[in-house]
Structure 1
Amino acid sequence: MTSALQVFMLPDLGEGLTEAELLNWLVAVGDEIRVDQPIAEVETAKSVVEVPSPYAGTVTVLHGEPGQTLEVGKPFISVAPVGAPVPAAEAAAETYREEEKAGSGNVLIGYGTPGGSGATGRTRARRSSVAPRPDNGTTPPVPSDAEKAADDLLLLRTRVPGKLGAVISPLVRRMAREHGVDLGAVHGSGDSGLIMRRDVEAAISSPAPAAAGPAAVETPVSAQAPSPTPTPAAEGTDSRTGLGISARTPVKGVRKAVAANMARSRSEIPEATVWVDVDATAMVELRAGLKKSDPHKTPGLLAFIARFVTAGLKRFPELNTRIETTSEGSQEIVSFAGINLGFAAQTDRGLMVPSIRHADRLSARELDGEIRRLTAVVRDGKATPEELGSGTFTLNNYGIFGVDGSAAIINYPEVAILGVGRIMDKPWVLDGGLAVRKVTELTLTFDHRVCDGGTAAGFLRFVADAIENPGSVLADL
């Protein structure tokens, strides 16, 4: 039997992303939706995005709950096409299994599907009221069709992403209810993780945790005898330190991506670091003079340094590359016809690195405009995957945090990162005498596989010289 149910798989929302956290649904079961209508908000490792539907029709199943982390390529939403009868819960579940195996519905965002003439308004389906069952010890009545449908849809909506976990047989569901078996904790032995009768019978016959040895007995907190000191296994107490645990924060979203990226960078890249102190007085004075004459169009100091960096990368293109491993297992250094300059921006969601595309073509004023625009975008959580994942070199201004220097970790898969410390008054030898100058520290961390120290030092010295004598490089501002 061919069913009209369409299952939309969660697509890759960025450059190689494998998962996304579901923030909230914008539609509900029973709603009528149109092609490209936003159906949910999800948070990837890079940004918060709205996911549009490639199908028009009536929503039958939402495969996930807000707060869950969903896998790319797994079912996201099931839709009955416009004009087709909405399948009953049993048929919807069966069709879902068939189409999941076939891989149907895996349509990329923005492409849509033919037949997008669905209704544009949201129409919430009515929910049938189910009378409570009497608890008088008699044989429970046969569930109504409405009860079955509600039961099945609940099971499908609360299943674990990436696993079928659905129970199709009414007998199995009733057996689980009568014996108090939590189906969410049962591992299905059937095809695609289908929970079978034997699985529920095994759960019923398995000894309860309380029947285990004395060491495994868990007594409710209210029933425990008072103890002068907490035991190492007490809830909320760390067994190693003996201190109370104040919070547990899941590592997910941006923090999870940053952790994975930094760990991979440190494990794969043989990095080295060079640094130099720089007299930035001339650059600071130049900007101050420009600000007096035109306060609204004067670039920030970071834009000046970004302009020096792009000029330096043109002279030392080895630092604007990427190392890739071929299918045969050999490595290649990939060079680029242009520079996408990333810069670190601190946000409420963590450290983000948006990139200025074709930064080598921009003047200092244009770079300043892009820095301001991208900073606002990432702080609002609206940056696109292209704006966050396309950098070829990163500039990190950690001086805004009031620190002098740092050996930064390379933003994998790039091969170098330049850090800029705070600009502060320091004694400096100038023309044979001491003077108070505006001094900053530049730190370059680079991948030793793509170049040697001479290239890294040459680039760093070029940027330092440009900061000390900015006029020539900033001729176009």
Structure 2
Amino acid sequence: MTATKVFLLPDLGEGLTEAELVNWLVAVGDEIRVDQPIAEVETAKSVVEVPSPYAGTVAGLHGEPGQTLDVGKPLISVTPSIEPVETGTPLVEPVETESAETTTPLVELVETEPVETKESAAAETYRAEEKAGSGNVLIGYGTPGGTSTFRRTRPSRASAVSTSSTRSTPSVETEGAGAKLTTSADDALLLRTRVPGKLGAVISPLVRRMAKEHGVDLGHMQGSGESGLIMRRDVEAAITKTPVKPAQGPLVEPVETKAFETGHPQAVESKYTIDARTGLGITKRTPVRGVRKAVAANMTRSRSEIPEATVWVAVDATALVELRADLKKTEVHNTPGLLAFIARFVTAGLKKYPALNTRFVSTEDTSGGESQEIMEFDGVNLGFAAQTDRGLVVPSIRNADKLSAKQLDTEIKRLTAIARDGKATPTDLGSGTFTLNNYGVFGVDGSAAIINYPEVAILGVGRIVDKPWVVGGELAVRKATELTLTFDHRVCDGGTAAGFLRYVADAIESPTSLLADL
């Protein structure tokens, strides 16, 4: 008899206390190995795969896709294939269990002579993994090390009559928590199992989210991809055929309204719940969670704690646009984008004006009072805003000040791709020291941006459009854009902010001379 182990949802980084279960990668009854991904969860930062610290058979899944789980709560129950045995452990271990009728000691017999079979080889492998630890450690949770001890706890003996509608209730041990978790037969029926060609054939979290939002049942869908894989096009096709159910709510009594043309009252019936303040029907309620919840909290904290100020300047970007066009004629596939060039100018400007690449820190001193300091960094981790299906995220290019425009362009493309796939790590999304926001891609000229807390500044770039411009005393049509810098007034004054902004603007207007000096 082997005690079932319960794996608790670990701390996924940066003090996050909860995560949304996106998808199970295993099902009840599956055989899994140490470090095998068992679930995809979405935190406030990204979608990550959670590996199992145990090898064995999946006994239970504690949660359904779409459910928000708290860190430290049960995630999955695993029954080890072979229980690790310590040197010196007694071969017979009496453990008293309570029964409704009598109290009888249980004994466990352990073979002392190994049997040369595939099963014994697997057991030895499992023992080695369990003693050494998997090494695939998430923040706040690690698999057992070599000095760990393994305590056997025998499940209680239950006396029950076997019928077609009744099952025994197993008792399982929660590793490291000292608590017991009981899963009833009714709960077990609620656990999602994977059916080949059905739910198990969905890989993309975006496809699952799309199906969930439009009420598409993936369990009865045959995918058009390889081996029945359900693709985005399959869900889109189902959406066009499946009407979306409106939000459920009690029907309200008919309301008499006056027709403007006839003046006669008309009875209008609403199928939605009525909002008491506006008198309008509520068509949808969207929980604030995941990335949107993190963005809301971060922006609120930024506006409430940072005394921000904004400066802006109009820039003639004609020379930069022409420089890129000339480079593209000779290097069709390796020409950096305009954002990469601007990123290069920004990192050079932050070296000249390092106050904008700092952090304002408030701590409690030894006397109980508040101590404040400005923290400077050896290098620039340049964040850039990227719009994804999960919302706006800010991946950062580490040590961006040491990269060329081509290297910056490569990193921008790489990080944008993983951010849109939901695979960016907390380090990718939370290590920036300054943010560059290209909101010109949305067709706008300017924005009073909110600083990405805990940074102290953000530079916005508007769209580049043809505008009338005075050149050499004459009116001409030039490629113009607008730069907007929002900064924390606690770390510097307007002169520093204006100096940095003017430096970047001059670099855009005369890119050749600046790039020659970099």
**Does 2:143 match 1:112?**
yes
Q: Contact 1:281–1:439 (CA<8 Å) still a contact in 2?
A: yes
Alignment CA distance shift 1:249-1:316 (3 Å): same
Instruction: Provide the secondary structure at the position in 2 that maps to 1:303.
Output: helix
Which residue of 1 is the match for residue 203 of structure 2?
none
Which residue of 1 is the match for residue 363 of structure 2?
326
Please give the alpha-carbon distance, in whole angstroms, between the structure 2 residues aligned to 1:146 and 1:294.
Answer: 68
The counterpart of 1:255, out of the listed 286, 292, 301, is: 292
Which residue of 2 is the match for residue 443 of structure 1?
484
**Does 2:36 match 1:37?**
yes
**Does 2:424 match 1:391?**
no
Unaligned regions of 5+ residues in structure 1, if any?
92-106, 116-127, 133-142, 160-219
Which residue of 2 is the match for residue 194 of structure 1?
none
The within-5 A match list for 1:263-412 is 263-328=300-365, 329-412=370-453
Please give the alpha-carbon distance, in whole angstroms, between the structure 1 residues aligned to 2:164 and 2:10.
Answer: 40
Question: In the TM superposition, what is the alpha-carbon distance from 1:19 to its structure 2 partner?
Answer: 1.4
Which residue of 1 is the match for residue 283 of structure 2?
246
Which residue of 2 is the match for residue 214 of structure 1?
none
Question: In the TM superposition, what is the alpha-carbon distance from 1:156 to its structure 2 partner?
Answer: 8.2
Instruction: Provide the secondary structure at the position in 1 that maps to 2:23.
Output: strand
Instruction: Provide the secondary structure at the position in 1 that maps to 2:409.
Output: helix
CA-atom RMSD in angstroms: 3.3
Instruction: Provide the secondary structure at the position in 2 that maps to 1:79.
Output: strand
Instruction: Provide the secondary structure at the position in 1 that maps to 2:16.
Output: coil
Question: In the TM superposition, what is the alpha-carbon distance from 1:29 to its structure 2 partner?
Answer: 3.2
Counterpart AA for 2:474? G
1:430-457 alpha-carbon deviations (Å, 9 max, x no partner): 2222221111100000001111111111
Alignment CA distance shift 1:434-1:225 (3 Å): closer
Q: Contact 1:63–1:157 (CA<8 Å) still a contact in 2?
A: no
Question: In the TM superposition, what is the alpha-carbon distance from 1:476 to its structure 2 partner?
Answer: 7.8
**Does 2:464 match 1:431?**
no
Question: In the TM superposition, what is the alpha-carbon distance from 1:147 to its structure 2 partner?
Answer: 10
The within-5 A match list for 1:179-258 is 236-258=273-295
1:166-223 alpha-carbon deviations (Å, 9 max, x no partner): xxxxxxxxxxxxxxxxxxxxxxxxxxxxxxxxxxxxxxxxxxxxxxxxxxxxxx969x
Question: In the TM superposition, what is the alpha-carbon distance from 1:350 to its structure 2 partner?
Answer: 0.9
Instruction: Provide the secondary structure at the position in 2 that maps to 1:60.
Output: strand
Q: Contact 1:287–1:298 (CA<8 Å) still a contact in 2?
A: yes
Instruction: Provide the secondary structure at the position in 1 that maps to 2:29.
Output: coil
Question: In the TM superposition, what is the alpha-carbon distance from 1:381 to its structure 2 partner?
Answer: 1.3
Alignment CA distance shift 1:112-1:157 (3 Å): farther
Unaligned regions of 5+ residues in structure 2, if any?
85-97, 100-135, 147-160, 173-181, 192-248, 258-266
Q: What fraction of aligned residue pairs are identical, expressed as a percent?
A: 72
Structure with more contact order per residue of length (Cα contacts < 8 Å, sep ≥ 6): 1
Alignment CA distance shift 1:70-1:221 (3 Å): closer
Which residue of 2 is the match for residue 16 of structure 1?
15
Please give the alpha-carbon distance, in whole angstroms, between the structure 2 residues aligned to 1:389 and 1:148.
Answer: 40
Please give the alpha-carbon distance, in whole angstroms, between the structure 2 residues aligned to 1:226 and 1:131.
Answer: 51
Instruction: Provide the secondary structure at the position in 2 that maps to 1:472.
Output: helix
Please give the alpha-carbon distance, in whole angstroms, between the structure 1 residues aligned to 2:425 and 2:189.
Answer: 29
Please give the alpha-carbon distance, in whole angstroms, between the structure 2 residues aligned to 1:261 and 1:148.
Answer: 42
Alignment CA distance shift 1:362-1:402 (3 Å): same
Counterpart AA for 2:287? P
Instruction: Provide the secondary structure at the position in 1 that maps to 2:463.
Output: coil
Which residue of 1 is the match for residue 501 of structure 2?
460
The within-5 A match list for 1:53-68 is 53-68=52-67
Question: In the TM superposition, what is the alpha-carbon distance from 1:278 to its structure 2 partner?
Answer: 0.7
Which residue of 2 is the match for residue 145 of structure 1?
168
1:136-170 alpha-carbon deviations (Å, 9 max, x no partner): xxxxxxx55379999615448979xxxxxxxxxxx
Which TM-score applies when normalising by structure 2?
A: 0.66
Q: Contact 2:169–2:185 (CA<8 Å) still a contact in 1?
A: no
Counterpart AA for 1:239? A
Please give the alpha-carbon distance, in whole angstroms, between the structure 2 residues aligned to 1:145 and 1:390.
Answer: 50
Which TM-score applies when normalising by structure 1?
A: 0.71
Counterpart AA for 1:313? L
